[in-house]
Amino acid sequence: MEAIPHMGNPTSATGSPAEVRDRSTTPVAVPAVGTGRLPAEVAGFVGRRGELGEIGRLLASSRLLTLVGPGGVGKTRLALRAAAAAEPSFRDGVRLVELARLRDPLLLAQSVVDVLDVQDRSDRSAAEVLSAHLADRELLLVLDNCEHLAGPTAHLVETLLRAAPGLTVLATSRQALGVIGEHLFTVPPMRVPTGERLPGPRALLRYEAVSLFVQRASAVLPEFTVSDANADSVARLVAALDGLPLAIELAASWLRVLPVDEVLHRLTDRFALLDTGAVAAAQPARRTLRELMDWSFDLCSPQERLLWERVSVFSGGFDLAAAEAVCSGDGIPRSAVLALVAGLVDKSVLIRQETSGSVRCQLLETVREYGYGRLEQTGASTEIRRRHRDHFGRLADQAQANWFGADQVVWFDRLRADHANLRAALEFCVTEPGEADSGLALASTPRDYWVAVGSLAEGRQWLTRLLAAAPDDAGPVRTRAMGLNAWFAVLQGNETEAEPLLTQHVERAERLADASETAWALQYIGAAMGFANPDDTNAITFFEGAAAGHRELDDMEGLTSDLFMQAIGEALIGDVGRALDLSREAVSLSDAAGESFVRSYAIFSMALATWRNGDRAAATALVREAVKLKQSFHDRWGLALCVELTFWTAAEDGHYDRAAYLLGALHALWEGLGASLEESVPFMIEGHERYVAQVREALGGRALQQTSERGARLTPEQIVEDILRDETAPTAVGAPGARLTRRELQVAKLVAQGMSNKEIAAGLVISLRTVENHVEHVLAKLGFSSRTQVAVWVSQHAADRP
């Protein structure tokens, strides 16, 4: 099933076992990952004042700063703390891109696109989409762990810095990126006590390395303190670990089972073996961390060692069900995985994360690299990666089986949470001989995944590479993949590529007598023809043929998507009655299944037909219903369709300020999609241009621009809030229902008192830029164009607001 109408233009776990829950195959809602927001610190930040001050100074004076140093020295945590401190200086905030688990340089730019929440609908390269998106933004972009992609990262950073004068990049790497203008800051280890005479317990705590050790030791042994009895051992231990934060944290975790004296004794015995030979010539930090890892590994039980090695194939974390499926067998009974996971959490090998009631684990990159190196030495890496691929293939199959149903949103969230693992599985299929067929199945399941997640470019990239690698006799899975590749090209508006791909898909489906794919092929062609050329009634014939095929196969998923697409086509050629009948049937089918994604589009098609029928109030109510459903999928493209129809309504009703405001919101949405109305929704261009001209004539060019600029500052979340607000008149945007934050309301009241932005900044002790942002948000949320309107609103409503 495809739930999106054509936009192109073709021609013809925990510290104890009890706390880690097994969900078996029952889906558990997991928040969408990859938002790029800075993560909350799960443990206190220790020391580094001098380093933070210097990094802050460098960020203020340079556009590319790279923190360099060996693994385990604390580059990531230092970068995150520095970025959080610098965030108020950047109008558009901070975004974090974690590159440690990304192996394919072709997906580098796409990873940044995902983090910036740009749902790419165009056929441009991801780098081009990024350049356009960042062009007028003031943003701090944090690129973490770049060393394994240093060359591609340098090229991308250089491209983006040229295109976006307001962009600043903070990178972490074990080596310089080598970009012109790059500033380097070498992250030093933490300060450790030195010399024969060591200070007493209280004085020792002035050393950052000691403070970190005590903090982490207290987490596993609450009664732990530095005393006269153990001060010497603590001082010598952190010194032996060269002040490396990761090494200190790993060593501290062993206090759960060993006294500090014993930890020191075992480590110094091991390190003494390195004082001669080639190993002694290695970098001290790298040598220390490697030996600390070896020591920790040796202290694990044999089964814990096996699990450490095997979980290293996961990317972006895993849940217990995944660990059991991928890591059990050959020395690890399935029933033992829970306790082994808990044991590795206890030893700080695994990091436990809990969100919305679900528990996932992940490894720090240095720990993962160590485990994967061990796995490769055993010769089992290919088999474990194959198990990993099989598990996520089964997960995708389960998602497809439940996609057109009441659990659709849950399964969508589950797949998004494991998007990095899906990528890792697809990469295995691309690079491992003989696995491309399995990759085709994974890349095309569920059928709507790449559309719903807003990553058409990435979906096409995987499909194209796998189609090239798989044999032509791959059967139905190849036909399905060919169809999706063609459909995604249609959605991108890529006429040149879409036309031959559509032809190849339908010819193969017919040659193999694949009735299901033949129906989908007719649907794709109908959408490509009808939505690009609204007056082409031939498209309806293709839709009707597809519907007949879906009905014969009892494919309600395909039928529902075909019906709403045909409904849009019928509405555009003027058969409103037929359009309403089709859209009502599509809504009824999706309602019966409890499905949400296609239903939102079916409701939109009903709204469009209702609008064409002259009932704009009913159409507006339907638009709001569609928008509510789209929120679960962060469906920006579908939201843009709904905002477009709302814009038409405002203009038709003579609410020209409101229409101009929505026009700006539309601009923001299409920019966030890396696309445009012209290439993505050609079937709505005629109405759009007509109402733009009408609004311009009513307001004048200057007023239209000023008002639309306010709408363009809205985030997608604010746009959704605006559309869902009950609006009966254009002035209702400024009614008591407008939701200002506490700070925005405070600023609004000061504006009402006649204070300038500069006076407000001084009064609230915040920067002028911050005040300007707050004022712009107040104007945008209330739908006003002047400070006088804000003053009137405050006098009427703000006194009663919390």
Q: What is the pLDDT of residues 547-567, one digit of tens each?
A: 999 999 999 999 999 999 999
Query: Would you state the pLDDT for residue 26?
Result: 33
Provide mean pLDDT across the span 465-480.
90
* Integer CA distances (angstroms), 62 to 56, 118, 135, 555, in order: 10, 26, 18, 57
Question: Shortest CA distance to 28 belongs to which of 320, 351, 350?
Answer: 320
In the chain, the domains with their CATH numbers are: 49-186 (3.40.50.300), 201-273 (no CATH), 300-379 (1.10.10.10), 732-800 (1.10.10.10)
Question: Is 564 within 8 Å of 541 (Cβ atoms)?
Answer: no
Using one digit for the tens of pLDDT, what is the confidence trace for 594-616? 999 999 999 999 999 999 999 99
Classified as helix, coil or strand, 64 is: strand
Give just the sign of the alpha carbon dihedral 494, 120, 695, 721.
Answer: positive
CA–CA dist 265, 254 (Å, integer)? 13
Q: In this predicted structure, what is the pLDDT of residue 770? A: 78
The per-residue b/e assignment along 103-141, b for 16 or more CB within 10 angstroms, e otherwise, is: ebeebbbbbbbbbbbbbbbbbbebbbbbbbbbeebbbbb
Residue type, 148: H
Strand 358-362 and strand 351-355: the pairing is antiparallel
Q: Residue 9 above 60 pLDDT?
A: no
Cα dist from 348 to 336, 344, 363, whole Å: 19, 6, 9
Query: Which pLDDT does position 683 carry in this prediction?
Result: 82
What pLDDT score does 592 carry?
94
Closest CA to 751 of 728, 719, 782, 706: 782
**β-strand partners of 340:** none
Interval 475-532: pLDDT, tens:
899 999 999 999 999 888 888 889 999 999 999 999 999 999 999 999 999 999 887 7
More confident: 625 or 129: 625
> In whole angstroms, what is the distance from residue 189 CA to residue 242 CA?
7
C-alpha distances (whole Å) from 42 to each of 141, 287, 465 are 22, 28, 40
pLDDT in tens, 399-408: 999 999 999 9
Peptide bond preceding 446 in cis form (omega within 30 of 0): yes
Are the C-beta atoms of residues 153 and 146 closer than 8 Å to each other?
yes
| CA–CA distance, 707 with 702 (Å, rounded to integer) | 9
Angle at 129 between CA 127 and CA 134, to 5 degrees: 95
Type of residue at 270: R
Q: Is the pLDDT of residue 15 over 50?
A: no
Mean pLDDT of 437-463: 93
Which band of pLDDT confidence, cut at 50, 70 and 90, is reported for residue 666?
A: very high
Q: What count of other Cβ atoms lies within 10 Å of the Cβ of residue 697?
A: 11
Predicted local confidence at residue 318, as pLDDT: 95
Q: What is the pLDDT of residues 249-289, one digit of tens each?
A: 888 888 888 888 888 888 776 665 444 343 334 455 556 67
- Report the alpha-carbon distance of residue 635 to residue 452 in Å, rounded: 7
Q: What is the rounded CA–CA span in Å between residue 528 and residue 535?
A: 13
Question: According to the model, what pLDDT value does residue 764 have?
Answer: 81
pLDDT band at 157 (very low <50, low <70, confident <90, very high): very high
Higher-confidence residue of 316 and 598: namely 598
**What pairs with residue 790 in β-bridges?**
none
Instruction: Write the pLDDT tens digit of every residue in 218-235.
Output: 888 888 888 888 888 899
Rounded (5°) CA angle 653-657-661:
110
Per residue in 668-719, pLDDT tens? 898 888 777 777 778 888 899 999 999 999 999 888 998 998 888 888 888 9
What number of helices (H) and strands (E) belong to the chain? 39, 7
**What does the pLDDT read at residue 11?**
33
> Structure tokens of 509?
């489906």
Please state, in angstroms and rounded to a whole number, the distance separating the CA atoms of residues 172 and 148. Answer: 11
Mean pLDDT for the chain?
85
Q: In terms of pLDDT, which residue wins out, 26 or 722? A: 722
Is the pLDDT at 4 greater than 50? The verdict is no
CA angle 120, 123, 128 (to 5 degrees): 70
Cβ(100)–Cβ(365) under 8 Å? yes
pTM score > 0.75 for this model?
A: yes
Q: Who has greater pLDDT, 211 or 19?
A: 211
Structure tokens at 613: 């029928």
Using alpha carbons only, give the angle 497, 455, 170 rounded to the nearest 5 degrees. 120
> Does the pLDDT of residue 239 top 90, yes or no?
no
Cα 552 from chain centroid? 39
Question: And the tokens for 742?
Answer: 């506490």
CA distance linking residue 345 with residue 304, whole number of Å: 11
